[in-house]
Structure 1
Amino acid sequence: MTQANAAAAANHDLVQQLRDSRLNNGLKHFIGGQWVDGQAGKTFDTHSPVDNAFLAKVAEGDAQDIDRAARAAHDAFQTWREVSGAERRKILHRVADLIEKRSQEIAVLESTDTGQAIRFMKSAAARGAENFRFYADRAPAAQDGQSLPAPGFINYSMRQPIGPVGVITPWNTPFMLSTWKIAPALAAGCTVVHKPAEWSPVSATLLAEIMDEAGLPKGVHNLVHGFGESAGKALTEHPLIKAIAFVGETTTGSHIMRQGADTLKRVHFELGGKNPVVVFDDADLDKALDAVVFMIYSLNGERCTSSSRVLIQEGIYDEFTRRIAERAAKIRVGDPLDPDTEIGPLAHPRHFDKVMSYFDKAKEEGATIAEGGVRVGDSGNFVRPTLFTGARNDMRIAQEEIFGPVLTAIPFADEADALALANDVKYGLAGYLWTNDVTRAHRFAHGLEAGMIWVNSENVRHLPTPFGGVKNSGIGRDGGDYSFEFYMETKNIAISLGTHKTARLGVGQAPAVGQKEAGE
């Protein structure tokens, strides 16, 4: 047995142990520090995308459960907001320690639940711990503001937590993305009601267990499972919830904005993308190839920042697409718990059907399937890494977010043509540029309509930097203190030095009111 086979077998053994000890008991809500069933007693089933076999029974939350969680978060906020930043830092560091301690358990359950390859879920678990450590260290300064002196006054600003917040997370890498939202909320002094995606609810339970074990006070974090149209809608409409942080599809984001309008909810959206990677003929083409292949085919292509359109200068288009196709054909698709696997199954049969539908769309629109375009195996949600060539930017495969291991290659003539193509979509989350012309790199990056741009690199996150998109890709920014701008209110306090003069009203002779004029 090879080392990889032995590791895969060990991972499967661990999954079976976790099924017996945890999943077979079902996934409950966590409200006010207690594991509880839904008040209506309803449940739904979650399945493994490897074979779509039953994985666990999950409590199905509704408006009653959301109300219980929101009230628990509201009550806990009255004390959590007063906990010092130093104490919050200690608790969040303990959360990070426990994530690291249970990282293997997190990774194998995340792979089983989402279909993501274990090689990436191990790093995702580590990133979850890093997110908590990063915001733990920022907690003591979360309320800090500015000194803004003016003639006759001392002005100073401060930040205060906004209150209970709703966090709605997606199904693609749910554990890491949950920590990315929840950690800054807790560091800021907010309390949380978390509604994870119904397609991959398992790791949310692990995170709730970990935070409880770390000593997070009861009610500070609450977990309610359920569907968007019921539990999610109730969360976005609840008057005690002051803000909604959502990661997911653009259309859902617009629904959430409408649902929160009556209660004037603050919203933070990380939405869809159709991100371009632009490859000029003067680029380091070997490095560009590595980055292009990695950014679309890793994480099953189910990532908001994937570079799903590759724009290639005409003179190198044929050779570069040939090399992409060769690499795509060699990508290992299979068991997500096998360390050698590079692409696992897509998260859900409905999403599998959506991705598969674009293969016919590509042919109908006149594009060529240079590689892939087929399912893998007879069961599960496996898709071959796919490359479309001969594509135009007005095709659906170039405009719509497929969210799978599918790349659309489009040629361009010059810089102006590349910029026009790159910007000609409704999305604007990320962009990637490959060129050795430093002047062009700056000029192109300034013109590209995207919230984040990497030059001569794949997506390499630096946690203090802003993360978010423009156009239909989102509202607001995560990262560093940018997260605190969402989870906190800024207050200005003006102290008079006693030297200014206030205009005086009402100090003269009062006019006669209702007195008759002489002679009347």
Structure 2
Amino acid sequence: MPTLEENLSKAEIHLERFRNDGVLNQVNGEAVPAASGETFEVISPVDLKPLARVARSGAEDVARAAAAAKGAFEAWAGMPGEKRKALLHRIADAIVARAEEIALVECMDTGQSLRFMSKAALRGAENFRFFADRAPEARDGQSLRAAGQLNITSRSPIGPVGVITPWNTPFMLSTWKIAPALAAGCTVVHKPAEFSPLTARLLVEIAESAGLPKGVWNLVNGLGEEAGKALTEHTAIKAIGFVGESRTGSHIMRQGAATLKRVHFELGGKNPVIVFADADLERAADAAVFMIYSLNGERCTSSSRLLVERSIYDAFTRKVAEKAKRIKVGHPLDPETVVGPLIHPVHEEKVLSYMRLAREEGVTIAAGGGKVEGPGGGCYVAPTLFTNANNKMRVAQEEIFGPVLTAIPFDDEADALALANDVAYGLTGYLWTSDLGRALRMTERLEAGMLWVNSENVRHLPTPFGGVKSSGIGRDGGDWSFDFYMETKNVAFATADHPIPRLGG
């Protein structure tokens, strides 16, 4: 396994191009700066030093990208599914060939640890392969018979779409959105998050190097209130797929209303992990720790509320606290690091503000509770556990999006259910019990789009992914992705004469 020093040396080689050339847009197959010539700076959360200057795009840049996507749409949508399948597999192959480069760049851009990001590129390739294999059947429908009638349904790509992706695991989440759009026959304008735009640039380059035609996939960098707003308002863009904060999702819905845009939102979460006394407590503790402290706690599906049956609450939270205290915080390219620096000083301050708030609200800091010194002096925060909390506290209600877990006791099934559902969000939930009947009762009534029983988040790509309440609209995964990126048409054929009402004759 390469050492920290070896990984740093390789990362510096890959980052040098961004320091020298900046991060450009990609429009109609060409690398171009913003029309205004303006840029903004991105920094590494490791040491807060500049990584690159990035094109600060505006409405003119979005218009050019949308025109390119519109111009490429007819040919791409008309390409036989088998050809799209082969091309998307070539993109997957090219991702695998550059997996190490992608991982190293993403670590330095986001602060995520290499032990997780080393798999992100391979997961991205898997996303492309999964949807590539479905491209030949994407337009298929059903035959529905009625008396004297045969109905034939089919699907067709909706048109050019906008994809806006977040900063936490940007490479993987970009593939998760863009691969099904391309497989469906849509063309794309992609706006990555301004905090972590580097691997989006790598991804579009990889796709075009694998043979993707010009204009099918366009990249426009910029700020949300500038490039993002222009994208959601543009008339040529027929749908917006967005991953990010719930508040931003509300803005996008308002901005797209005038053009009646279809929207798909994967938004925030305040997800419960519910542990009953009859569960396998060691496995439950490992799963709870993994789901909040992996990926720096910066993911929508993290289990940020720990609901524990009162009879085992003290012992179980002690076990979790002990594990949290042993987690290594360090440089993201250190193979031993679990928690790296948070994405940006702005976000670090948000997370630290909740630690100050927790003390004001009267919780016990059982582990962590503040900033820690790390190599480079970046945005390092200790894995933190709050105990003696209740569900009315802000630390139990609001999405912190960091390595922070709030533990709350419950008395029985009804109490656990009430606590779990008493938040604005409803993305995921995790349930630990050996009672099958209880598992069935609880999962039926828990308000979440996805639930895992006696398991951490183990994704199966054909299954639907998405949330309810303030956690989102729509579902990704399997055929559900095509429901968003495609329109359904029904054609009814009369198979026998039927009485036609005669008017005026």
Letter in 1 for 2:110: T
Alignment-mate amino acid for residue 228 of structure 1:
G
Is residue 51 from structure 1 mapped to residue 47 from structure 2 by the alignment?
yes
> Which position in structure 1 is the counterpart of 2:301?
305
User: Which residue of 432, 435, 444 corresponds with 2:433?
Assistant: 435
CA-based RMSD: 0.8
Q: CA deviation at 1:498?
A: 4.0
Indicate which of 299, 319, 323 corresponds to 1:327: 323
Separation (CA, whole Å) in 1 of partners of 2:187 and 2:17: 30
Task: Tell me by how many angstroms 1:21 deviates.
Answer: 3.5
- Cα separation, 2, equivalents of 1:319 and 1:22: 49
392 and 330 in structure 1: CA distance in 2 versus 1, 3 angstrom threshold: same
Counterpart of 2:392? 394
Distance 1:245 1:280 in 2: 37
Q: Per-residue deviation at 1:78? A: 1.4
The residue correspondences of 1:65-104 to structure 2 (distance < 5 A) are: 65-104=61-100
Q: d(CA) in 2 for partners of 1:478 and 1:18?
A: 32
**Quick one: which amino acid aligns to residue 505 of structure 1?**
L
* CA-to-aligned-CA distance 1:470-504 (integer Å, 9 cap, x gap): 00000000000000000000000111224222112
1:189-210 deviations in Å (ceiling 9; x for gaps) = 0000000000000000010001
Calculate the TM-score normalised by the size of structure 1.
Answer: 0.96
> Is 2:70 the partner of 1:61?
no
Task: After superposition, give the CA deviation of every residue in 1:150-204 in whole Å (9 maximum; x if it has no partner).
Answer: 1222111000000000000000000000000000000000000000000000000
CA deviation vs aligned residue, 1:241-291 (integer Å, no higher than 9, x gap): 000000000000000000000000000000000000000000000100110
2:206 is equivalent to residue 226 of structure 1? no
CA distance, structure 1, for counterparts of residue 249 and residue 360 of structure 2: 30
Q: C-alpha separation between the residues in 1 aligned to 2:344 and 2:16? A: 23
- Please show how residues 151-170 of structure 1 align to structure 2 within 5 Å: 151-170=147-166
305, 311, 318: which is aligned to 1:315? 311
CA distance in 2, matches of 1:473, 1:9: 40
Question: How many aligned positions are there?
Answer: 503
Q: Which residue of 2 aligns with 1:19?
A: 15
2:264 equivalent to 1:268: yes
Query: Does 1:216 pair with 2:234?
Result: no
CA offset at residue 19 of structure 1?
A: 2.5
Shift of 1:22: 4.2
Verify the 8 A CA contact 2:18 2:51 in the aligned structure 1.
Answer: no
- 1:7 is displaced (CA, Å) by 2.6
User: Identity over the aligned pairs, expressed in percent?
Assistant: 66
Specify the alignment match of 1:423 in structure 2. 421
Distance 1:154 1:498 in 2: 10
Partners of 2:116 and 2:308 in 1: CA distance: 28
Question: SS of the counterpart of 1:481?
Answer: helix
> What residue number does 1:504 align with?
502
Choose which of 403, 412, 434 in structure 2 pairs with 1:405: 403
Any idea what SS the aligned residue of 2:416 has? helix
Following the alignment from structure 2 to structure 1, what is the Cα–Cα distance between the partners of residues 174 and 15? Answer: 22
TM-score by length of 2: 0.99
Matched, 1:344 2:307: no
User: Secondary structure in 1 aligned to 2:23?
Assistant: coil
Distance 1:84 1:23 in 2: 40
Q: Tell me the equivalent position of 1:238.
A: 234
For the residue of structure 2 that corresponds to 1:416, the secondary structure is: helix
Structure 2 portions without partners, runs of 5+: none
Deviations 1:347-376 (A, max 9, x none): 010000000001111111111111101111
| Higher Cα Rg, which structure | 1
Cα distance, 1:506 vs structure 2: 2.2
| Structure 1 unaligned spans of 5+ | 508-520
